[in-house]
Amino acid sequence: MSAKILLIYTGGTIGMVQSHATGALKPFDFKHLKNEVPELQRLSITLESISFKEPIDSSNMHPRVWIQLAEIIEKNYREFDGFVILHGSDTMAYTASALSFMLENLAKPVILTGSQLPIGIIRTDGKENLITAIEIAAAKINNQPAVPEVAIYFEYELYRGNRTLKYNAAHFDAFISPNYPVLAEAGVNIEYNSNYILKKTKKKLIVHKHLDNDIVILPLFPGISKKITSSVLKINGLKAIVLHTFGAGNAPTEDWFINEIAHAVKSNIIVYNVTQCIEGSVIQGKYETSSLLKKAGVLSGEDITIEAAVTKLMYVLALPLSLAKKKELLLKNLRGEISSNK
């Protein structure tokens, strides 16, 4: 029996074709997908598709869309063997990260992909990305899903969704996973790195449909002023801050800065320390410049990406838990987003 895959088109470059009349790019009807990508007819996979009524540019991505995607997957979870989400590349890592937290006990593949060039352009990277993403979503090893987690496929490599970031706007290899190995590599064959893929759970899928976006990212830079810092930390209704720090989680040690951070923590605002470095980890206490943050009650994000940190906070803040329990969850490895075993 062939695998059954649901293709979900949210928008983005991959879903565009060139108008024969004007030459302009326009979204195409995914009901006619096999006309645009005839290679799909050669796959022994049953393919169905859902398209958003109004395609979304990924720059306009929003938590309400993540909830919509989670609901589509929940509604169709029993009927399909896997899911492929077509998405603009700019915010794909945010969506993949969010879904990884929202789909607790996920036991089927949810593969996001897209392209740098529209599928209707001769040199497009979209066809290969689409075909291979579908193959991965349908793949089984020992009669079990090969990749039972949320992942991103782009330019011959499969990455854990919440470990991924877009780093290149000019090349086809737009994504990297700096602190975690690739899950699979597509060459002549698709080689799965099974040791790095999450194990399938037998627990029932739990879909979390509430997110809290009362957060802010505060990127540090030499010369950041007290006036600006104070105004950010005193935003009305603020619940959490991603403190985007230097190196291994370092920040200025000036009294006013540490006092502002400590005051925010005492005001029940979560402060989450995430490094500006692409590779490496926050190690609070390694240097004096981070030990003061630890003493003030700042939480270490370890080697989490900024995309995963933002979406993990949205997910955790919306849970009906005490502040202490929420902080505890932020320090834990929930979906493979950090290297800690806590």
Sign of torsion, CA 298 302 303 307?
negative
13 is catalytic: yes
Q: Which of 10, 13, 124, 245 is catalytic?
A: 13
Instruction: Report how far residue 150's alpha carbon sits from residue 98's, in angstroms, rounded to the nearest whole number.
Output: 10
Could you write out the three-class secondary structure of 256-303?
Answer: HHHHHHHHHHHCCCEEEEEECCCCCCCCCCCCHHHHHHHHHCCEECCC
Q: 287 near 279, Cβ under 8 Å?
A: no
Instruction: Report how far residue 140's alpha carbon sits from residue 136's, in angstroms, rounded to the nearest whole number.
Output: 8
The two structure tokens encoding residue 11: 């928008």
Instruction: Report how far residue 19's alpha carbon sits from residue 25's, in angstroms, rounded to the nearest whole number.
Output: 6
Q: 104 near 204, Cβ under 8 Å?
A: no
Angle formed at CA 181 by CA 180 and CA 187, multiple of 5 degrees:
150
> Which DSSP letter does residue 58 get?
G
Catalytic residue set: 13
